[in-house]
Amino acid sequence: MLFQKKESVLLAVANGRAIELAEVPDDAFASGMLGVGFAIIPSDGTVYAPASGCVESVSDSKHAYTIQTDDGLDLLVHIGIDTVELKGEGFLPMVTAGDRVQAGDVLARVDLNILRGGNFPTVIPVLISNSDAVFIKKTRIGNMIGGEDAVLDYRLVKK
């Protein structure tokens, strides 16, 4: 395996507390089955792009966003757990498929009170679905400023 020389980062997708994926209250995310990454427990409802790239999709229920980063990572930003059941209620996308985003741009706004009122965990997992393409160098845990603070440092792997 060869590594790129340059390190890259993924930013916090919300103001709040960064946690390990293993702490997410959903086995599919916590086990790493869907990819490697981190999660944020948000303190407010603004969700930011973790990296620059192209928005590949916005789910019909407006709770999930996929981004292909400029360096080739396939990212999933998933707002809340089981929030597909809300059928879009409480979610306001600020992007559409095909849009170009810069790291820190606003992806969506979410009414966290609607999630809490329905007993949906508000945690936001951020996954690298093509995890074989990346070496995670460092993951920071703790309080973060969305769209500004780096949570995950990585290098691309070339096989």
Supply the residues annotated as catalytic.
78
Nearest CA-CA partner of 40 in 154, 120, 146? 146
* Paired strand residues for 38: 20, 126
CB atoms within 10 A of CB 5: 7
Nearest CA-CA partner of 47 in 14, 77, 91? 14
**Geometric angle at alpha carbon 28, from 49 and 13, rounded to 5°:** 15
Torsion angle, alpha carbons of 44, 144, 22, 64, to 10: 50
- Residues near 51 by beta carbon (within 8 Å), at least 6 away in sequence: 8, 9, 10, 11, 67, 69, 70, 73, 75, 103
Tally the C-alpha atoms within 13 A of residue 61's C-alpha that lie toward its C-beta. Answer: 12
